């Protein structure tokens, strides 16, 4: 189970709704299976309407902050503006089986689901579903 405060989940939904024609993305910071903060990031993908790539500068800044005591990266979020909150084949191709959380916002922003990137997952052979709980 992944715990996330409802206001953080609302921030992610607002971010997704603000860019209906492109995928948005950001970082999930926390410890274990608890998200303590979210950081909206620029999508620097070559085709942001169809895929996402988190700005490397934001990733480096989050890793530096974690070394200084801030919560580490436990995963990231992104949107599927015209799709479902389910990992796509592109997501599976891009995901490392490292156990990180992938939070996906479906088109319209209402549906948000959590997934864990693993070696032989149930979905696209890369992701296992994770129950999402708001605190």
Which fold is adopted by the domain 2-134? Cytidine Deaminase; domain 2 (3.40.140)
Phi-psi region of 16 (alpha: psi -120 to 50; beta: other; left: phi over 0): alpha
- For the stretch 10-41, pLDDT in tens is 999 999 999 999 999 999 999 989 999 999 99
Which pLDDT tens digit goes with each residue over 44-93? 999 999 999 999 999 999 999 999 999 999 999 999 999 999 999 999 99
Burial of 47 (0-12, 13-18, 19+ CB in 10 A): exposed
Tell me which of 23, 36, 53, 122 is the catalytic residue: 23
Question: Domain locations in the chain?
Answer: 2-134
Question: Does the active-site annotation cover 36?
Answer: no
| C-alpha span between 29 and 90 (Å, rounded) | 24
pTM for this one?
A: 0.96
């Amino acid at each position: 189970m992944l715990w996330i405060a409802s206001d953080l989940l609302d921030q992610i939904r607002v971010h997704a709704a603000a860019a209906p024609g492109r995928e948005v993305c950001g970082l999930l910071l926390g410890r274990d299976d608890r998200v303590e903060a979210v950081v909206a990031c620029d999508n620097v993908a070559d085709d942001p309407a169809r895929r996402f790539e988190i700005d490397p500068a934001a990733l480096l800044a989050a890793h530096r902050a974690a070394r200084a005591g801030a919560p580490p990266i436990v995963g990231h979020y992104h949107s599927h503006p015209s799709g479902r909150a389910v990992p796509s084949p592109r997501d599976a191709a891009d995901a490392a089986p490292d156990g990180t959380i992938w939070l996906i916002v479906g088109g319209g922003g209402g549906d948000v689901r959590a997934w864990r990137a693993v070696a032989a997952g149930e979905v696209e052979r890369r992701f296992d579903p994770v129950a999402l709980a708001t605190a």
